[in-house]
Structure 1
Amino acid sequence: MSDSGNVLFTVKVDALGHVISRPNRFLLLADVELPDGTVYRNEKVHVHDPGRLKEILYPGNVVQLRKADREGRRTSWDLVSGKVGGKWVLVNSSYHRYIAESILSSPFSPVGRFSSLRAEVRAGASRLDFHLTVEDGKVHYVEVKGCTLSRDGRALFPDAPTTRGTRHLRELIRLKEEGCESDVLVLVLAPDTECFIPNAKCDPEFARAFRDAVLAGVNVHPVALEFDGMNVSYGRVLPLCVHSEDI
């Protein structure tokens, strides 16, 4: 069942862009069109998501942009989203924390109601996104991942190798073994997905750590989200893909 009427987060968009190129992970060049029709050529856009995003950031594709709110930056704009199959896909990872916190604070939180929440907490050699104490007294460590890639209805993470993501999973396994609850909250931003699976072809080490985490009892919550170009809404919890050659 979908709860798509539940808005979690609203995004401010100032302009549209047409992709020219992506010189490096964090820089996009685009022609920018303001709502009044004014066009700025070859503008520098900051990309918050370090993933490859090849299905989104290709020459000619349309993207949404937000004007940089800090003077003196090398880039004048922040990338918000891009079109995939006629739908907007949010690709700004700086929003993930706020979307995740909204989910955790909502009636459909996968961990239940909490009495305390702390963000950006140290755990061993890592820093995890959230530490929660829920009403039954259990402590949950929650790590958030954003998923923008899908193929044949399967949401895939990551779309680029991530040693940091693998380290987070190993830390969650350790915490689970010590008696805490460990959770991975996957924000599935790719549209039209039916299930979630680690992208073993892209990052086999992450896929192995993911499998080990599931076997160790780490909770995985892939939440399908809907983005209409302005509002991020809750969709539904996806199952893990089964009977796949990638797991």
Structure 2
Amino acid sequence: MCSASGALLLPYPPGCRVAAFVRREKRFTAVTVDPHTGAELRAHTNNTGSMLGLLRPGTQALLSPAPQRATGPQRALQWTLEALALPGGHRGEPPAWVGVNTLSPNRLLAAAWRARLLPEALAYTGFAPEAKTGASRLDALLTGPGLPPLYVECKNVTLVEDGQAQFPDAASERGRKHLDELVRLRSEGCRAALFFLTQRPDGDCFAPAEAIDPQYAAGLVRALRAGVELWAWRARVTQAGVHLAERLPLAPCWAARVREEGG
């Protein structure tokens, strides 16, 4: 299993604080309270998934302060929800953090590329975020002299079931479209990869969440058969930030399915 030795690649900004989660409102707002004063702290969440099993009242929530703008109005919500604590900790350990900020995988991918921690991309010298292709926009395009373009789509993984880190945690039509676009690019001679970042300490392998989105699971199998690369990694989330930890293998049952359907 490939390891990055827990490198802290994505530090959180100064001024983070821990609050208690109360409820989610209007999809993009997390209502929390300061455990010492009882003051309400409303935080922006960019996670459009269900965050299944994490949104329990009273759960510890890690908030980062919104960046202050030099000009113009400040952001309405002055906090960002970065992580939620696993209830009861992990395997008897103190409570551990689960990163729920869906921008973290994109930022971590760029930081890992700069730090030369991505074995598959060591020869690539250019990195462009938000690459438009066809009717889609993928998270990154890597380029290098004499190399095929390498398109990468990033996904944040917060769900673990039966020892497997699974994606998605809600049916994802957008995710299925990304799979189709990656397959198309692969058929045209480009390289294409999926960077699944599991921002929690449990789960020994990666798998698609077939029970939640069977179409996505089938699409992922087709994509892997077509040559789309699977880059599944674990991140270690602390109050300091997001550390790149180790590579996760595809669950054996799914690896077998890819081989069988590819035969």
Give the TM-score, by structure 2 length: 0.85
Question: What displacement does 1:160 show?
Answer: 1.1
**Contact 2:11/2:240 (CA < 8 Å) preserved in 1?**
yes
Q: Which residue of 2 aligns with 1:124?
A: 134
Q: Which moved more, 1:171-180 or 1:130-139?
A: 130-139
Letter in 1 for 2:127: L
Q: Over residues 151-196 of structure 1, what are the superposed CA-to-partner deviations in whole Å (9 max), with x where a residue is unaligned?
A: 2321000101111111011000000000000111111112122110
Letter in 2 for 1:62: Q
Q: Which residue of 1 aligns with 2:210?
A: 200
State the SS of the aligned residue for 1:169: helix
**Contact 1:134/1:140 (CA < 8 Å) preserved in 2?**
no
Answering whether residue 172 of structure 2 is matched by residue 162 of structure 1, we say yes
Query: Percent same amino acid among aligned pairs?
Result: 30
Q: Over residues 6-65 of structure 1, what are the superposed CA-to-partner deviations in whole Å (9 max), with x where a residue is unaligned?
A: 2211112522111111123211111025xxx5x253332211111111322211101111
Q: Which residue of 1 aligns with 2:99?
A: 90
Q: Which residue of 2 aligns with 1:45?
A: 43
Structure 2 counterpart of 1:62, from 60, 64, 69: 60
Question: What displacement does 1:72 show?
Answer: 4.5
Alpha-carbon distance in 1 for matches of 2:66, 2:140: 27
**Contact 2:148/2:189 (CA < 8 Å) preserved in 1?**
no
RMSD (CA atoms): 1.8
Unaligned runs of 5+ in 2: 90-94, 258-263
Alpha-carbon distance in 2 for matches of 1:198, 1:58: 24
Letter in 1 for 2:110: E
Alpha-carbon distance in 1 for matches of 2:146, 2:240: 36
Alpha-carbon distance in 2 for matches of 1:112, 1:153: 31
Aligned length: 241
**Structure 2 CA distance for partners of 1:21 and 1:88, relative to 1, 3 Å:** same
Structure 2 counterpart of 1:153, from 133, 139, 163: 163
**Contact 2:164/2:205 (CA < 8 Å) preserved in 1?**
yes
Unaligned runs of 5+ in 1: none
Alpha-carbon distance in 1 for matches of 2:74, 2:180: 39
Alpha-carbon distance in 1 for matches of 2:172, 2:9: 27
More strand by share: 1
Alpha-carbon distance in 2 for matches of 1:3, 1:96: 15
Question: What displacement does 1:75 show?
Answer: 2.2
**Contact 2:110/2:127 (CA < 8 Å) preserved in 1?**
no
Question: What displacement does 1:242 show?
Answer: 2.0
**Contact 2:102/2:156 (CA < 8 Å) preserved in 1?**
yes
**Contact 1:16/1:62 (CA < 8 Å) preserved in 2?**
yes
Alpha-carbon distance in 1 for matches of 2:158, 2:52: 10
**Contact 1:25/1:52 (CA < 8 Å) preserved in 2?**
no
State the SS of the aligned residue for 1:92: coil
Alpha-carbon distance in 2 for matches of 1:40, 1:74: 20
Alpha-carbon distance in 1 for matches of 2:58, 2:38: 15
Give the TM-score, by structure 1 length: 0.90
Q: Which residue of 1 aligns with 2:7?
A: 6
Answering whether residue 144 of structure 2 is matched by residue 100 of structure 1, we say no
